[in-house]
Amino acid sequence: GQFAIVRKCRERKTGLEYAAKFIKKRRLSSSRRGVSREEIEREVDILREIQHPNIITLHDIFENKTDVVLILELVSGGELFDFLAEKESLTEEEATQFLKQILDGVHYLHSKRIAHFDLKPENIMLLDKNVPNPRIKLIDFGIAHKIEAGNEFKNIFGTPEFVAPEIVNYEPLGLEADMWSIGVITYILLSGASPFLGETKQETLTNISAVNYDFDEEYFSSTSELAKDFIRRLLVKDPKKRMTIAQSLEHPWIKVIKRRNVRNEDSGKKAEQRRRLKTTRLKEYTIKSHSSMPPNNTYINFERFSKVMEEVAAAEETLREIQKNKKSFREDIEALLSIYEEKESWYKEENESIGRDLRQIRQELLRAESARQRAQEESRNVMQAAGGLRRRYRRLEKRYGALAEQVASEVRFVQELLWSIEREKLQSGG
C-alpha cells in the first residue's frame, strides 16, 4: 500500500507465522504523508470486532515511534483471480463456490453494519491454495467504516474500477457500495473483462456514473442467463434498488440446488460447452492488472524521504506559528500597554483616594485622642468629686451617730420622767 507494507513474521513463543502490517503514522496533523491516528484506530476497532472464516483475523498490535504494527493471520495462498487464471477452464459452479465464500464474508460484515468499501480482486485472497477446497479470505480494512443509522456518511475513496456510482457522485454511502463492487468482481471473474474500465480514470468514472456496460457476446457467449441476471441486479445505479447481500445469497445462480435444476434443463454437448468458461482472458486481465500496478516502493521511498518532507513541513509550520505568534505578541503587547496605562491611571486615582482617606483617618484619630484626653480629665474630676462625697458622707455619718446617741439619751430621760409622773399619780390617789 501507499503507507503500509506487509512482512512475514514468526511468534517466538509458539513458532507460528503471521503477517505483520506496518502502517506508517502521520507525524503532523497538517501532513498528508502517513495514516492518521483516527484512521488506524478505526481499522483496528473493526478488525477487533470481526471473527469469520472468510475474513482475515487480527492477532496482536504493536507500536513504535514511526509505525503501528498489526499482527494478522498469515494468508499465503495468493489472490483468487491468480489462482483461477492458472486453470485452463472454469465452470460456473466452481466460480460460484468461491463467490459464495465472498458473499458469506460480506454478509457477516453487513450484519455488523460494516462496509468494506475496497472489495477488489487483490483484496480477495486464498488462505492456502494447495488444498482441495481453498478458503477465501477478505483482507485490507484500511477504508472500512461502521455505518451508523442516522449519520450521513460521504467520501471519495477506493479503486476507480470497482467503486459504486454513489462514491463517484459524492452521495451518501452505505453497505450497498460493497454490492456494486461484488457485481464488478463477478463480471470480471466470468469474462476476464472489466465492465467500466476506460482509457483514463475520468473515463472509467464517467462509465460508472452512467452505468455504461453490456454483456459483449465475445466475452459472455458461454455465460448462463442466471449469471448475467445476478450481475444485472448488482450493477444498479440506485443503491436502494440494488440487490442486498441477503438477496444475493438467495439468488438462484448462487443457490446450488436451484442452479442444478436449471442445468438439468440443458442437454447435449452444446450446453456442456456453454457451462465451461475459458480462463484465457482472466489470465490476461490478471497479468495486465499486475503490470499496471506501480512497483511497491512507495513505503520504501516514504521511509527514505519522509523525515526530510516532515522536517520541511515542520519548518513551514514553525514559520507559520512564528508569524502567527509575532502578530499575537504584538497584539498582546498593545493589550498589555493599554492595561498598564489603565492600571496606572487607576493606581493614581486610588492613591489620591487613599491619601484622602488617610488624612481623614488621621484627623479622626486626632479627634479621638482629644476626646480620650478629655474623658480622662473628666474621669479624674469625677474621681475627685467622689472622694469629696465619701469624706462628707463619713462626716455626716459621725454626726448622725452623735445625734442618735443624744436622741436616745433624751428619750430615756423622757421615759424616766413619765414613769416618775405616773408613780406620783398613783401615790396621791392612794
**Catalytically active residues, by annotation:** 118
Evaluated on CA atoms 375, 378, 380, 385, the torsion sign reads negative
Count of alpha carbons within 13 Å of 368, Cβ hemisphere only? 6
Cβ distance 73 to 20 under 8 Å? no
As given in the structure block, the three cell numbers for residue 122 are: 487483490
Residues 6+ apart with CB under 8 A from 330: none
Using DSSP's 3-state secondary structure scheme, residue 79 falls into strand
Evaluated on CA atoms 263, 268, 270, 276, the torsion sign reads positive
Cβ distance 76 to 7 under 8 Å? no
CA dist 343 and 89 (Å) reads 92
CA dist 104 and 403 (Å) reads 138
DSSP-assigned letter for residue 350: H
Q: Would you give the end-to-end CA distance of the chain in angstroms?
A: 166
CA dist 54 and 153 (Å) reads 26
CA dist 99 and 80 (Å) reads 10
Check residue 192 and give left, alpha or beta (phi > 0: left; psi -120 to 50: alpha). left
Cβ distance 169 to 211 under 8 Å? no
Cβ distance 27 to 110 under 8 Å? no
Q: Which of 338, 224, 202, 223 is nearest to 281 (CA)?
A: 223
DSSP-assigned letter for residue 250: T
Cβ distance 59 to 16 under 8 Å? no
Q: Which of 40, 84, 88 is nearest to 61 (CA)?
A: 40
CA dist 362 and 357 (Å) reads 8
Neighbours of 128 (CB within 10 A): 13
Cβ distance 33 to 302 under 8 Å? yes
